[in-house]
């Protein structure tokens, strides 16, 4: 199968355009099994994902190198989604395709006693990527307007203020050189049932299951509403949301990898110029 034939068969519009949440975006209207921006099938998608590993690794290394010469740019990938939406698979198969030396994954659980003493963005600020690095959040400050809102873990007036606090915070990050990529993995309630069923049917998956996962399903509509509010109120020009249909794992992984690539390409990081006399060092090395 020729590469050229392949490329012409799949049409790939930039995923940034295909997946970006705009003012009118309604989650309920987005089919979790759809593959916006990609017309290929699963095998095509898996091949496309594998093909992206090298260019994304190269771009990541350039970003990393740039920072060794004083560059201050970084990338923050925020991954949100319901239980079983595939966040772990994104970490493993997308983030895992990049040199681990340049990546920091932070997995946010229920806040600890220490974290609860501070404003909700405190632990987020402590986990931001430094220059040249790709930070990845598995869950994030958005839990503070998702699970917190659904279960009234703080008074309404308090969580209601957070949307504005978040957009201000993210704007500040972007202004200081961090590209923020926010991904919502959008699955259907039926697909979640299948994935939870698999976790219960397979003893090697039991450790991933928690009975509260089923309780949470009872709040499905509340969560959709909370996600819709997140998209309505925090998908800004500085840091837009990308809604990634996630009933097909292969598509979600391809989409996030492609989003990473498109954002890194826009940054277009360059190998830094030598800050030493190359010819002189070559001469010195020869004699050493």
Q: Which residues bind its own copies (CB under 8 A)?
A: 65, 68-69, 88, 91-92, 95-96, 99-101, 103, 105, 107, 138, 193, 196-197, 200-201, 203-204, 206-207, 209-211, 214, 217-218, 271-274, 276, 278, 281-282, 284-285, 288
Give me the residues paired with residue 179 across strands: 75
Q: How far is the CB of 105 from its own copies (least distance, A)?
A: 6
* Widest distance between CA atoms in the chain: 73
Helix, strand or coil, per DSSP, at residue 202: coil
Closest CB to its own copies among 176 and 206? 206
In terms of CB distance, is 31 or 194 closer to its own copies?
A: 194
Q: How far is the CB of 109 from its own copies (least distance, A)?
A: 12
Least gap, CB of 28 to its own copies (angstroms): 20
Q: What angle do CA 233, 124, 172 make, to 5 degrees?
A: 60
Which residue lies nearer to its own copies by CB, 162 or 195? 195
Cβ 207 to its own copies shortest distance, Å: 4
The four Cα atoms 249, 255, 260, 263 give a dihedral, to 10 degrees, of -160
Beta strands in the chain (DSSP E): 74-81, 103-107, 134-138, 178-186, 241-245
Question: To the nearest 10°, the Cα dihedral for 52, 53, 57, 59?
Answer: 0
**Nearer to its own copies among residue 110 and residue 200 (C-beta):** 200
In the complex, minimum distance from the CB of residue 224 to its own copies, in angstroms, rounded to a whole number: 15
Tell whether the torsion through CA atoms of 168, 170, 172 and 174 is positive or negative: negative
Q: Give whichever of 56 and 243 is closer to its own copies, judged by the CB atom.
A: 56
């Amino acid at each position: 199968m020729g590469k050229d034939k392949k490329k012409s068969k799949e049409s790939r519009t930039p995923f940034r355009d295909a997946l970006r949440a705009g003012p009118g975006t309604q989650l309920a209207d987005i089919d979790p099994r759809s593959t916006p921006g990609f017309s290929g099938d699963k095998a095509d998608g898996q091949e496309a994902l594998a093909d992206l590993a090298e260019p994304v690794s190269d771009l990541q290394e350039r970003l990393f190198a740039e920072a060794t010469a004083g560059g201050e740019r970084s990338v923050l990938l925020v991954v949100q989604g319901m239980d079983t939406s595939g966040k772990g698979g994104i970490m493993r198969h997308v983030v895992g395709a990049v040199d681990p030396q340049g990546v920091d994954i932070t997995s946010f659980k229920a806040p600890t006693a220490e974290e609860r003493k501070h404003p909700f963005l405190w632990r987020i600020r402590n986990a931001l990527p430094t220059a040249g690095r790709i930070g990845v959040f598995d869950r994030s400050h958005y839990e503070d307007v998702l699970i917190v809102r659904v279960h009234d873990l703080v008074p309404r007036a308090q969580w209601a203020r957070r949307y504005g606090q978040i957009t201000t915070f993210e704007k500040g990050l972007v202004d200081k050189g961090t590209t923020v990529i926010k991904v919502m993995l959008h699955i259907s309630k039926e697909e979640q049932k299948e994935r939870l069923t698999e976790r219960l049917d397979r003893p090697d998956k039991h450790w991933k299951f928690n009975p509260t996962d089923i309780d949470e399903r009872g709040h499905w509509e509340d969560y959709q509403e909370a996600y819709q509010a997140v998209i309505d109120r925090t998908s800004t020009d500085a840091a837009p949301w990308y809604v990634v249909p996630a009933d097909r794992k292969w598509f979600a992984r391809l989409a996030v990898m492609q989003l990473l690539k498109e954002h890194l390409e826009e940054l277009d990081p360059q190998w830094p110029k030598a800050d030493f006399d190359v010819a002189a060092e070559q001469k010195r090395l020869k004699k050493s």
